[in-house]
Amino acid sequence: MLLRLDMASRTPIYMQIRNQVVLGIAAGELTPGEKLPTIRALAEQCGVNMMTVNKAYGLLRHEGYITTDRRGGTVVAGSPGAGALSERYLGALRIIAAEARLAGMDEDGFAALCREAYSYNNGGADNE
């Protein structure tokens, strides 16, 4: 699992880390129970501060994607609670859909794009 961060992006670094981990879990690259790098290790590997990684891990932990074992170590959790997931993404999806529509993409094309995004297994998401 190699993180690729874009220091010039408008997306905060801690959010990029968070996104990459989520993508990694969804892609099966990170499996439940697997141990994540320590805060210090990941910070050094990425060339960022510990606090930044800490913030990303804290966010992921809060979202239920990872848990922190008291005996030292951060591990990938199972699936987070389902919750009202539909509503949560609808807002963002609507905006993307509106932009795609105005750019000339029809509904089928957009659905195909979404399916591609769903089945895509990581690779080069610049996660902005």
Question: In this structure, is the dihedral angle defined by the CA atoms of residues 60, 63, 13 and 24, taken in order, positive or negative?
Answer: positive
Answer for the pair 5, 48: CB distance below 8 angstroms, yes or no: yes
Q: Could you tell me if 68 and 38 are in contact, meaning their C-beta atoms sit under 8 angstroms apart?
A: no
Query: Which of 27, 34, 37, 54 is the binder for a second copy (CB under 8 A)?
Result: 27
Q: Does 41 bind DNA (CB under 7 A)?
A: yes
105 binds a second copy (CB under 8 A): yes
| 14 binds DNA per the rule CB under 7 A | yes
74 strand-pairing partners: 36, 68
50 binds, among DNA, a second copy, none (CB under 5 to 8 A by kind): DNA
Residue 104 makes contact with a second copy by CB under 8 A: yes
Beta carbon nearer to DNA, 49 or 121: 49
